[in-house]
Amino acid sequence: MRQLVLGNLNYSSWSIRPLMVARKVALPVEDVIVPLDFPETSARLKEISPTAKVPLLIWDDVTVWESLAITEWIAEWAPPGSVWPEAPAARAIARAAASEMHAGFSELRSKCPMDIRAREATPEMTEKLAADIARIDALWSNLRSTFGKGGPFLFGRWSAADAFYLPVVTRFRTYGLPLSGAAAEYAAAVLEDPDFLRLEEQAKAEPWWIRYGPDGRSSGFLKPEA
């Protein structure tokens, strides 16, 4: 069995990262979506995942959890240079940038949950949110000017660093957050990538929706037909 188990693509930021990586290298794997925040979601995930979370890669007798570990697994499967940049220095920095995303930007993540198809009001610009935005803007601008000569992505050609920042790019659009010159150009290029456009179409077509209660907890629901 070779499956990439994912949450619904519109909301599951951790899922779409390794999904983009898998698609960029044409990994022969079946996408299986477990819609998030429905009453049965946790029980379904507990049956297959040691953390009861997605994404999860099931590849024959190996089950890999955590988006970054799945990305590394795909990088070992794929030809060198197709997931991470080929040059060692660029590769190290790309991994650092992806790890920084994996471990950080908590204010942006909590105040601006990923919702690809939505357009929301810009949240109150707290000091912490502004700091996350400033760091992302500086990081993207620096990577573009240092490594970006060969294409529109952070390291020129597409790499897993772009997959890790894809949900961040969509958050900037959904919540109308500010970006300066080179960072704004980078975000625009990501939103034009045909692989993202395909993913966006899939996200838009999903029948599952999520609403947040006053306590911040979320619940999934099926939107009635219009």
Ligand X SMILES: N[C@@H](CCC(=O)N[C@@H](CS)C(=O)NCC(=O)O)C(=O)O
Residues that bind ligand X (CB under 6 A): 7, 12-15, 36, 41-42, 45, 53-55, 66-67, 102
Choose between 66 and 115: whose C-beta lies nearer to ligand X.
66
The least CB distance from residue 42 to ligand X, in Å, is 5
- Reference 7, options 32, 42, 30, 33; nearest CA is 33
Find residue 62's DSSP bridge partners.
Answer: 59
Rounded to a whole number of angstroms, the minimum distance from the CB of residue 23 to ligand X is 17
Closest to ligand X by CB, 64 or 187: 64
Give, for 34, the enclosing helix (H) or strand (E): none
Nearer to ligand X, 53 or 144 (CB): 53
Nearer to ligand X, 57 or 189 (CB): 57
Burial of 83 (0-12, 13-18, 19+ CB in 10 A): buried
User: Which DSSP category does 152 fall into?
Assistant: S
Least CB distance from residue 179 to ligand X, whole Å?
Answer: 24
CB-closest chain residue to ligand X: 53
Query: Shortest Cβ distance from residue 145 to ligand X (Å)?
Result: 29
- In the complex with ligand X, the residue whose CB is nearer, 7 or 85, is 7
Hey, how many other C-beta atoms are within 10 angstroms of the C-beta on 61?
A: 6
Q: In angstroms, rounded to a whole number, what is the distance separating the alpha carbons of residues 162 and 187? A: 10
Judged by beta carbon, residue 68 or residue 136, the one nearer ligand X is: 68
Q: Measured from the CB of residue 158, what is the shortest distance to ligand X in angstroms?
A: 20
3-state secondary structure of 106: helix
Query: What DSSP string describes 74-105?
Result: HHHHSPTTSSS-SSHHHHHHHHHHHHHHHH--
In whole angstroms, the minimum distance from the beta carbon of 111 to ligand X comes to 16
User: What is d(CA 40, CA 35) in angstroms, rounded to the nearest whole number?
Assistant: 9
